[in-house]
Structure 1
Amino acid sequence: MNILQALFFPPEQPGGVSSMIPYIQDRFQQMGWQMELFSLPKRVRGKGQEEVVFETFDYHAFEGDPLVDKYIQTYRDYVWWTKLRLKKTYDIIHAHHPIAALVMKQLYPDTPVMMTIHSSYERELILNGKIEENGKVHQFLTAIYGELEARVDKLLTVSESFRTYISPYVKEAADIKVIPNGFDEKRFKPIAHENEVPQLITVCRLVPAKGIDILLHGCAELKRRGHPFVLHIIGDGPIRPELEQLAVELDLYDDIIFYGYMLHPEEFMPFFDIFVLPSRAEAFGSVFAEAALCWLALVGTNVGGISEQIDDGVNGLLVPTEDPIALAEALEKLVTDSSYRYNLARSGWDKAKQVYSLQRVIAQLKKVYVNTLRQAE
């Protein structure tokens, strides 16, 4: 079987999708399946000229907004690049971005195309203060879910909570299959270590949706309670200067290290003790599973895919969003009790290895591919 994995970002980009797909490709190739990766390079901008047509709505009603116009131009660019680069046929195309899915179905109408919806672009834009809820761009982006349902052969997503999130925008949410992300446990090597001062780590893009401002306020409260720690922040983004200034204002700057972007943080992560990320929304939250496989204790917010990964008090701790005091109290439990921290981390590792193994994903995808191809015959 010859399968194309159609991405949006190149596979070397950070994030759950990009870090997972090359490992999926490797496993399938080991089984004798042919699998290629395809994505739109960042240098390809403003090349496409073809008109875009959606079946379920008229996007022209949303034209004039810079984000909508950029989305449509990116669609055109993906069409242009795909026509330029792909000259062969495939048995199945598995897309990981709405533009990739819709373009592939347009250009390969007789090939089964499936799409895994990994996250909510519109929700991220709202939380990052870029668009208004129920505004023009929000309506456009949520209409894309219905377009995907109408045109692609199979929809998948990464968590039950995200399937619930998109259910108002599709006709048959029950038909969307949930396959959580999976990780090659060989990439993660827990290291026995003893840190005299608890080491906290977070890994994310520095945008408002990730709640790092809440993390800093929570850490300030932890410091006021007299608990020493070091917080390591791996990642970059537009609000980094604001966060650095907030760290100064909260008298935290000497307790925090800002690293910027790092391609393979999992190589660094096992030396720390606690992974913490108070996201305001997460479709899945791959970094929690990655941290668990590094044998770190987990602290996250009770939202989306995070709450599906963490059983509060069993393999990590859950706190409400926008609550730095609750976050500080959760961290306090872990920094003051190394045995409790160890037990949570061990349980987290056990669950991640059992539930989020790459082998499980391979088995589920193989079944979906075979069934999809059989239905198309």
Structure 2
Amino acid sequence: MNILQALFFPPEQPGGVSSMVPYIGERFRKIGWEMELFSIPKRIRNKGQEEIAFATFDWRAFAGHPVVDKYIQTLKDYVWWSRLRLKGKYDLIHAHHPVAALAMKQIYPDTPLLMTVHSSYERELILNGRIPADGPEHRFLTSLYGELEHRTDRLLTVSRSFAAYMGAYMKRPETVGVIPNGYDERRFKPISHENEVTQLVTVCRLVPAKGLDLLLKACAELRKRDRKFVLHIIGDGPIRPELEKLAQDLGIYDETIFYGYMLHPEEMMPFFDVFVLPSRAEAFGSVFAEAALCLLALVGTDVGGIAEQIENGSNGLLVPPEDPAALAEALDQLIIDPHYRYELARAAMNKAKKTYSLNRVINELKKIYVAMGPAEAPGPSQ
């Protein structure tokens, strides 16, 4: 079978999609399937001129708003780039971003299209203060779920909570399938170590949605309790200067290390003790599974896909969102009790190996690909 994996960001970008899809392609190619990865380079700007029309709503009613205009132009650019670069025919297209899915259906209207929705752009924009809730940009972006339902042959997402979120904007929400992300265990190499001072780490884009202001406030409380720790912040983003200033104002700058962007943070993660990320929303939270495979104890907020990965007190600790005091208490438990920390980390690793294995994803996708592809496609056991 010849399948096109249509990404938005180039596969070298960090994140759950990019860290998973190339490995999916590699596994399928080993069994004789053709698997091509496609994405749009960041340098492509304002090239597309082809008209865009949706079947379920008129996007022009939202025109004139910057987020909407940029989204439509990006879609036009993706169509332009795809027509320029894609010359082959495919048995199936698996898109991993709404722009990619809508562009591919415009170019290949007769090719079966599978779409996995990995995250919510509108929720990120709202939490990051870029658009208002229930405003025109928000309504435009949520209308796209109905358009995707209409235009694709099958929709998947990465967590039950996000399937429910999407379903509120669809006619048949029960048709959305759920396949959590999967990871190649060979990428993660836990290392036996004993840190005299507890090493906390977080890996994310530095934006308000990730709740790092709450993490810094929680760490300030730990310092008041005279707990010994170092906080490692891996990632970059627009609020890094604000976070650095907040760390200074809270008196924990000496305990905090800002690394900036790192392509392969999993190479460093095994040397830390606790992974913590108090996100305000998260469709899945790939980095929690990756941290678990590095044998780190997990602390996260009780939101979205994080709450589906962490069973509180069993394989990690969950805290309410927007609650730095509860976050400090959870971190305190893990700092003062290394044995408890290790037991949680071990349980998290075991669950990640079982639930988020790349083999599981491959097997589930293979069944879907065969069902959607041509009749002569190889069966799931091949």
TM-score by length of 2: 0.98
**Partner residue, 2:305:** 305
Q: Which runs of 5+ in 2 are unaligned?
A: 378-382
Q: Which range moves more in the overlay, 254-263 or 100-109? A: 100-109
SS at match of 1:364: helix
- Look up the equivalent residue of 1:294 and give its one-letter code: C
Percent of residue pairs bearing the same amino acid type: 71
SS at match of 2:11: coil
SS at match of 1:192: coil
Which whole-Å CA distance do the structure 2 matches of 1:258 and 1:358 have between them? 31
**Partner residue, 2:363:** 363
**Partner residue, 2:13:** 13
**Partner residue, 1:95:** 95
Which whole-Å CA distance do the structure 2 matches of 1:266 and 1:157 have between them? 24
**Partner residue, 1:137:** 137
Deviations 1:225-278 (A, max 9, x none): 110100000000000000000000000000000000000000000000000000
**Partner residue, 1:272:** 272
SS at match of 1:61: helix
- Look up the equivalent residue of 1:249 and give its one-letter code: D
**Partner residue, 2:77:** 77
Deviations 1:197-223 (A, max 9, x none): 000000000000000000000000111
1:284 to 2:260 alignment: no
Which whole-Å CA distance do the structure 1 matches of 2:249 and 2:224 have between them? 14
SS at match of 1:72: helix
**Partner residue, 1:234:** 234
Which whole-Å CA distance do the structure 2 matches of 1:251 and 1:99 have between them? 43
Following TM superposition, by how much is the alpha carbon of 1:167 offset from its aligned partner in structure 2, in angstroms?
A: 1.2
SS at match of 2:10: coil
Aligned residues: 377
Which whole-Å CA distance do the structure 1 matches of 2:374 and 2:221 have between them? 57
- Look up the equivalent residue of 2:357 and give its one-letter code: S
- Look up the equivalent residue of 2:120 and give its one-letter code: S
- Look up the equivalent residue of 2:361 and give its one-letter code: V
- Look up the equivalent residue of 2:68 and give its one-letter code: V
Following TM superposition, by how much is the alpha carbon of 1:31 offset from its aligned partner in structure 2, in angstroms?
A: 1.2
User: Is the CA contact 2:202–2:232 (under 8 Å) kept in the aligned structure 1?
Assistant: yes
Equivalent runs, 1:162-177 vs 2, <5 Å: 162-177=162-177
1:243 to 2:254 alignment: no
Equivalent runs, 1:44-123 vs 2, <5 Å: 44-123=44-123
Which whole-Å CA distance do the structure 1 matches of 2:144 and 2:80 have between them? 20
User: Is the CA contact 1:316–1:344 (under 8 Å) kept in the aligned structure 2?
Assistant: yes
**Partner residue, 1:255:** 255
**Partner residue, 2:221:** 221
Following TM superposition, by how much is the alpha carbon of 1:305 offset from its aligned partner in structure 2, in angstroms?
A: 0.2
User: Is the CA contact 1:112–1:376 (under 8 Å) kept in the aligned structure 2?
Assistant: no
User: Is the CA contact 1:231–1:257 (under 8 Å) kept in the aligned structure 2?
Assistant: yes
Which whole-Å CA distance do the structure 2 matches of 1:167 and 1:114 have between them? 17
Following TM superposition, by how much is the alpha carbon of 1:375 offset from its aligned partner in structure 2, in angstroms?
A: 8.4
SS at match of 1:169: coil
**Partner residue, 1:316:** 316
Following TM superposition, by how much is the alpha carbon of 1:374 offset from its aligned partner in structure 2, in angstroms?
A: 5.5
Which whole-Å CA distance do the structure 1 matches of 2:99 and 2:337 have between them? 48
User: Is the CA contact 2:91–2:374 (under 8 Å) kept in the aligned structure 1?
Assistant: no
**Partner residue, 2:380:** none
Following TM superposition, by how much is the alpha carbon of 1:186 offset from its aligned partner in structure 2, in angstroms?
A: 0.5
Which whole-Å CA distance do the structure 1 matches of 2:276 and 2:285 have between them? 12
Which whole-Å CA distance do the structure 2 matches of 1:85 and 1:227 have between them? 56
Following TM superposition, by how much is the alpha carbon of 1:376 offset from its aligned partner in structure 2, in angstroms?
A: 12
Which whole-Å CA distance do the structure 2 matches of 1:33 and 1:343 have between them? 41
**Partner residue, 2:338:** 338
**Partner residue, 1:43:** 43
Q: Which runs of 5+ in 1 are unaligned?
A: none
Q: What do you get for the CA RMSD once the two structures are aligned?
A: 1.1
**Partner residue, 2:180:** 180
1:150 to 2:144 alignment: no
SS at match of 1:318: strand
